[in-house]
């Protein structure tokens, strides 16, 4: 099959990947994964449940307790991870097409950005795998000690659907480097690329049982992982609501540590001194990139009063360049929302915005009559107490508000239970750095947005979670420290 001259790959992997083999679910059940471009079924995928999680954990436990992976040198693990990265590079087009079809993400962006980047995540952590060191402690005259940085064990990685490949490797790459063994639960909306990665991991030489993938639903597979007595850690990215359930399940089972990257409602503060055209472009990117399905979307746009009217006018004009369309069409900039549930939820927020009295500048409805497309939408003159300003919409909906003073901007930016990201746009770098210190968020972008890098830690303040993905901070999440103490006799020092 071919669309716009891009070949749509055959779906080869639809079963669970446990202990190095693709297997059916114990129940034999499957679920449909839907193409959001046309609402058609792409494939039937194995629907895992508690019994399948038990099998995957058993395999991961065996691989951790008795297998080679945690025991080989970091250098050897790194070499295998490098090979895994090369195999991804050799299959970029196919992997990009799978995520575009399964999740409605832009093919061109996946091909040029997401998929090459995940191969580099593997390389980055592969390079760190042989640099995991403890320290030597002098202690008192009677003792000395050293610390070991040991892999934390069997880890459960529960990931969302908005950036399926990125989320897979943001968690899998550091966990592999640390020497952990893994059970990944991809989101039920986008299960397909994770299964391709399982296949490539095996080809790269990752031993059986080290990387397992159990597809299925959150309330069954996700809940079984987070409450499992033999899972040593859970790393989760998703909604704040589900993060709470995971933490509760961890506390009520074996008290496994969890790290949570949750929802957001990022403020974007735009000061009087900016070039309005550039600031509008940045605000549109912060809201419409990945069709707004991104936890760091800068959906609360605060514009200083002197430029507010001009900003509103230009935003309405420039929004037209964010054209919705098939993610395989090179002219499209906004693909379909991932599924019907998200599509309905976003449209209902838009209706709230209209009823609550915000001014609808552009968009505000479905695009076309097939697929889950929504017109990029902008509300002006929004207010802090409106639902569209308070809650995470996870769609292409931007709210514009006005502020007068720097203090007011800071106060408004912090008026949220979330704290994942924030943006500041101004020519005054001192002002930007000063405001950065007062805004409570895990990442602050000054005169840029979505500037992620594998070396730059990322995670939340407040109800956006805790723990950091990316960078060497993330590697630490998959390690634990052991102190080994020995006596020291007759030392004068």
H-type alpha helices, 319-414: 340-355, 387-390, 406-413
Site for ligand ADP in 243-262 (CB under 6 A): 245-246
Please state the closest distance from residue 295 (CB atom) to ligand ADP, in A: 9
By CB under 6 A, name the one of 188, 232, 261, 469 that touches ligand ADP. 188
Interacting span for ligand ADP (CB under 6 A) from 57-65, 221-229, 349-357, 378-386: 221-229
In angstroms, rounded to a whole number, what is the distance separating the alpha carbons of residues 440 and 432?
A: 14
Q: Which is nearer to ligand ADP, 186 or 324 (CB)?
A: 186
- DSSP-assigned beta bridge partners for residue 86: none
Residue partners of 451: CB distance under 8 A and separation at least 6: 445
Residues in contact with ligand ADP, shown as a per-residue x/- string from 82 to 111 under the rule CB under 6 A:
------------------------------
Taking CB under 6 A as the rule, does residue 346 contact ligand ADP? no
CA-closest candidate to residue 268, choices 396, 412, 418: 412
Question: Which lies closer to ligand ADP via its Cβ, residue 223 or residue 266?
Answer: 223
By CB under 6 A, residue 242 contacts ligand ADP: yes
Residue 85: CB minimum distance to ligand ADP, A: 24
Among residues 66, 131, 219, 404, which is the contact residue for ligand ADP, using CB under 6 A?
Answer: 219
Which of 37, 111, 123, 185 lies at the binding interface for ligand ADP (CB under 6 A)?
185
Residues 107-166 that bind ligand ADP (CB under 6 A): 158-160
Residue 175: helix, strand or coil by DSSP? helix
Closer to ligand ADP at the Cβ: 110 or 258? 258
Residue 222 binding ligand ADP, by CB under 6 A: yes
Q: Name residues whose C-beta falls within 8 Å of residue 367's C-beta, 6 or more positions apart in sequence.
A: 324, 373, 374, 375
Burial environment of residue 437 by CB neighbours within 10 A (0 to 12, 13 to 18, 19 or more): exposed
Q: How far apart are CA 421 and CA 300, in angstroms?
A: 11
3-state secondary structure of 7: strand
User: Please, what is the minimum distance in Å from the beta carbon of residue 107 to ligand ADP?
Assistant: 22
Nearest to 419 by CA among 452, 443, 387: 443
Nearest distance in Å: CB 234, ligand ADP: 8
Dihedral sign computed on CA atoms, order 164, 170, 175, 176: positive
> Nearest distance from residue 339's CB to ligand ADP, in Å?
9
Q: Is the dihedral of CA 130, 132, 138, 144 positive or negative?
A: negative
Residue number, 102 or 326, with CB nearest to ligand ADP? 102
Q: How far is the CB of 161 from ligand ADP (least distance, A)?
A: 6
Active site residues: 261
Cβ burial 322-349 (10 Å sphere, 16+ → b, else e): bebbbbbbeebbbbbbbbeebbeebbeb
Closer residue to ligand ADP in complex, CB, 159/204: 159
Give contact residues for ligand ADP (rule: CB under 6 A). Answer: 158-160, 185, 187-188, 217-219, 222-223, 226, 238-239, 242, 245-246
């Amino acid at each position: 099959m071919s669309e716009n001259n891009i070949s749509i790959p055959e779906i080869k992997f639809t079963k669970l990947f446990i202990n190095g083999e693709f297997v059916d679910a114990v129940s034999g059940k499957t679920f449909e994964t839907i193409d959001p471009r046309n609402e058609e079924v792409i494939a039937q995928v194995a629907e895992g449940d508690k019994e399948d999680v038990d099998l995957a954990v058993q395999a991961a436990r065996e691989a951790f307790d008795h297998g080679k992976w945690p025991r080989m040198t970091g250098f050897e693990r790194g070499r295998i991870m490098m090979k895994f990265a090369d195999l991804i590079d050799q299959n970029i087009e196919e992997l990009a097409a799978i995520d575009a079809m399964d999740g409605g993400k832009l093919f061109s962006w996946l091909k040029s950005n997401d998929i090459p980047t995940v191969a580099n995540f593997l390389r980055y952590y592969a390079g760190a795998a042989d640099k995991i060191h403890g320290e030597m402690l002098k202690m008192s005259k009677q003792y000395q000690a050293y610390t070991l940085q040991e892999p934390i064990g069997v880890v459960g990685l529960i990931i969302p659907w908005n950036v399926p490949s990125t989320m897979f490797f943001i968690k899998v790459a550091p966990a592999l480097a640390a020497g952990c063994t893994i059970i990944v639960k991809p989101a039920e909306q986008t299960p397909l690329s994770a299964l391709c990665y399982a296949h490539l991991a095996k080809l790269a030489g990752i031993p059986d049982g080290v990387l397992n993938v159990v597809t299925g639903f959150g309330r069954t597979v996700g809940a079984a992982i987070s409450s499992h007595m033999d899972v040593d850690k859970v790393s989760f990215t998703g909604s704040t609501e589900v993060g709470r359930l995971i933490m509760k399940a961890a506390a009520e089972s074996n008290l496994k540590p969890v790290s949570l990257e949750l929802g957001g409602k990022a403020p974007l503060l735009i000061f009087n001194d900016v070039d309005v055209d550039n600031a509008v472009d940045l605000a549109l990117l912060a809201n419409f990139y990945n069709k707004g399905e991104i936890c760091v979307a800068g959906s609360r746009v605060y514009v200083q009063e002197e430029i507010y009217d001009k900003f509103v006018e230009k935003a309405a004009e420039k929004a037209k360049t964010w054209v919705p369309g098939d993610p395989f069409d090179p002219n499209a900039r906004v693909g379909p929302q991932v599924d019907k549930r998200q599509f309905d939820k976003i449209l209902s927020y838009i209706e709230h915005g209209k009823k609550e009295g915000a001014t609808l500048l552009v968009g505000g409805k479905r695009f076309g009559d097939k697929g889950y497309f929504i017109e990029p939408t902008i509300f002006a003159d929004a207010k802090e107490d409106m639902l569209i300003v308070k809650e995470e919409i996870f769609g292409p909906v931007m709210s514009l508000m006005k502020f007068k003073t720097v203090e007011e901007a800071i106060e408004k930016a912090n008026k949220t239970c979330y704290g994942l990201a924030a943006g500041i746009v101004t020519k005054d770098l001192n002002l930007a750095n000063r405001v950065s210190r007062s805004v409570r968020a895990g990442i602050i972008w000054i005169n840029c947005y979505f500037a992620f890098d594998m070396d730059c830690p990322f995670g939340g303040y407040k109800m956006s979670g805790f723990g950091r993905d990316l960078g060497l901070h993330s590697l630490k999440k998959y390690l634990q420290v052991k102190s080994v103490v020995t006596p020291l006799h007759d030392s004068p020092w």
